[in-house]
Amino acid sequence: MKAPAPKTVRALPGETLAKQLALVIDLNVCVGCHACVTSCKQWNTSGSAGPLADQNAYGADPTGTFFNRVQTYEAGIFPGTDTIHFPKSCLHCEDPPCVPVCPTGASYKRKEDGIVLVDYDKCIGCKYCAWACPYGARELDEERQVMTKCTLCVDRIYDEKLPKEDRKPACVMACPTGARLFGDVKDPNSEVSIAIRERGGYALMPEWETQPANQYLPRRKTETVGEQPVGGNA
């Protein structure tokens, strides 16, 4: 059984929050292994992080939906091409367009930590929030007929039964390269804020003016040392 989330106070539209929990993803070290994807699905299906074999993840009717996806692209012109793995989930925007379009008030942003959530007891599965989200972050759970999305594992990060170092989203705990950071982006001394400031972190599609809380750390150009170029002398 998952631990209950703390009592929630809803943020007002346009309200400036003192705390904003978010993910910062380092594209320079993400290897596209999908550990974050499978761990996310496992946690949100069964309340534990681990392999998906017992959930028939690749069967005709896989259990649950995916809140996190990794998209892989090739950028540049050969021979200077680069493979980029780009994880994407709900960005927990400071001005989330999914909230005001909800006709029942099921979609909301929490005042205490800025997490955007869905109240399943109020959701009618109309998909208005999915249409409003420019990032494609919401999915309809076909079985329950409610809209679902990344919750930043709100039930996990506040679970006092877990050791403090484990009170992080399942995707962060599962990443083998440490590409996913989690913390308060409004705290200038937090690990995530320092990474954004020192590494040139950026928001996805800022032109939509949704002010995404999640940020990305850019790829850095690397050079191989000690190898001869193709066609060079031996």
User: Could you read off the pLDDT of 115-150 as tens digits, one per residue?
Assistant: 999 999 999 999 999 999 999 999 888 888 999 999
> Average of pLDDT values for 204-218?
95
Which helix (H) or strand (E) is 75 found in, with range?
strand 69-75
Quick one: which of 83, 81, 72, 25 has its CA closest to 199?
Answer: 25
Owner of token pair 């998952």: 2
CB count within 10 Å of CB 57 equals 17
- Supply the range of the domain harboring residue 27: 21-94+152-217
Quick one: which of 68, 60, 66 has its CA closest to 90?
Answer: 68
pLDDT for position 79: 82
pLDDT for position 93: 96
Q: Are strands 21-26 and 69-75 parallel, antiparallel or unpaired?
A: unpaired
Asked if residue 82 is part of any domain, the answer here is yes
Asked if residue 231 is part of any domain, the answer here is no
Asked if residue 209 is part of any domain, the answer here is yes
Asked if residue 162 is part of any domain, the answer here is yes
Asked if residue 6 is part of any domain, the answer here is no
C-alpha 8/C-alpha 116 separation (Å) is 11
Q: 26 forms bridges with which residues in the sheet?
A: 217
Asked if residue 135 is part of any domain, the answer here is no
pLDDT for position 135: 94
Count up the domains in the chain and report the number.
Answer: 1
Q: pLDDT, tens digit, for every residue of 157-169?
A: 999 999 999 999 9
- 153: tokens are 């594992």
Asked if residue 145 is part of any domain, the answer here is no
Asked if residue 147 is part of any domain, the answer here is no
Q: Are strands 116-118 and 139-141 parallel, antiparallel or unpaired?
A: unpaired
**What CATH number does the domain containing 198 carry?**
3.30.70.20
Which of 5 and 89 is assigned the larger pLDDT? 89
pLDDT for position 51: 46
Which helix (H) or strand (E) is 43 found in, with range?
helix 35-46
C-alpha 147/C-alpha 118 separation (Å) is 7
Quick one: which of 84, 202, 91, 86 has its CA closest to 137?
Answer: 91
Burial 156-194 (b: 16+ CB within 10 A, else e): bbebeeeeeeebbbbbbbbbeeebbbbbbbbeeebebbb
Torsion of CA 48, 51, 55, 58, to 10 degrees: 140
pTM: 0.83
The pLDDT of residue 61 is above 60: no
